[in-house]
Amino acid sequence: MCFNTRAGALIGALLIAMPVAAWPELSHSQEAGASSETRVGLKRRVAVGRFSNSTPYGRLLLSPGEADPVATQASDMLTNALVGSGHFFVFERGDLQALSAERLLSDADTQRLVGVDALLLGSITQLGRRNEGKQGFLNSQRRQAVNATVEIRLVDIRTGRVFFTASGAGEATTETGEVAGFGTRAGYDSTLNDRAINAAIADTMTQVINQLQQRAWFTDILRVSGDNVFVSGGPSQGLSAGDRFRVETPGEVITSAQSGLPITLPGSQVAEIELVGFFGETPETEGAVARVVQGSLPQNIAGLRVVEIR
């Protein structure tokens, strides 16, 4: 009876001293499930430009001109996060040389690169590790933690102006413990760096999505045939039958003497259209069929913009 009591006490101490590593993973999966229920709105076109590693980590052994693997990894993580969010069309900009070489080998010589609404530039500004632990008479605990900070800025590709910056922080930890010689031991865990950077990038996604969706979504008119108005975009961009948009003339662009930046004057609304159907097989070739419900379209549709109604 005494032996059973001591064994139970020892097992209880083991359970208390050794944290369950699966608990943080469960929390992340719950957050992922909640985010997947978010309604996808009208998609913007974005591209990831330069992404650098501003910390000493991983750079000390690099040769001059050699690519930083940490920066490349962070750029890939950011691209995956943008695509996975379902809010953007993401275009390649980091490997344009390889992309251009491939286009020369293809039959699509007449195709050109698609312009984007915003360019994302970023940097890892903090990446630090700390080890913590406690040593008792019969038990010991060790905790490794990595903190990362990522800075991202959004650039207007038409003017080069930085119109938004976002900062994200992430942390990844692992814990081990022993009681009376029983338990687990762990050495240096290099995956903590990857998880911390990924968490920091994920922390910026909500800010980036909210900022880009504050900018009005717009598209162009492809052709007018009778009562049908054909415009670019389809269901993959968040469009649905019954959506209404205003059609406006392009505003005049004037250079401001105060800032030196071009300022586009508001265009004039000429009509309002409603989507009634869609065509196209891929997200890049999708289009919508619309009808004019208010106003009228001019004979010359060049330059007209179809703008989201807010």
Residue of 2 and 71 predicted with greater confidence: 71
Q: What is the DSSP string of 246-259?
A: EEEPPPPEEE-TTT
Cα distance between residue 250 and residue 269, in whole Å:
10
* φ, ψ at 130 (rounded to 5°): -140, 145
Tens-place pLDDT, residues 19-39? 433 333 333 333 333 333 333
SS3 81: helix
Residues 74 and 197: beta-carbon distance below 8 Å = yes
Q: What confidence score (pLDDT) does residue 200 get?
A: 92
Determine the residue type at 97.
Q
Q: What is the pTM of this model?
A: 0.63
Q: How far apart are CA 57 and CA 59, in angstroms?
A: 6
Lowest mean pLDDT among 100-114, 132-146, 169-183, 253-267: 100-114
Tell me how far apart the alpha carbons of residues 6 and 249 are, in angstroms, rounded to a whole number.
84
147: which strand partners? 128, 171
The average confidence (pLDDT) of the chain is 75
Residue 290: the pLDDT is: 96
Structural domains of the chain ordered from first start:
40-213 (3.40.50.10610), 218-308 (2.40.10)
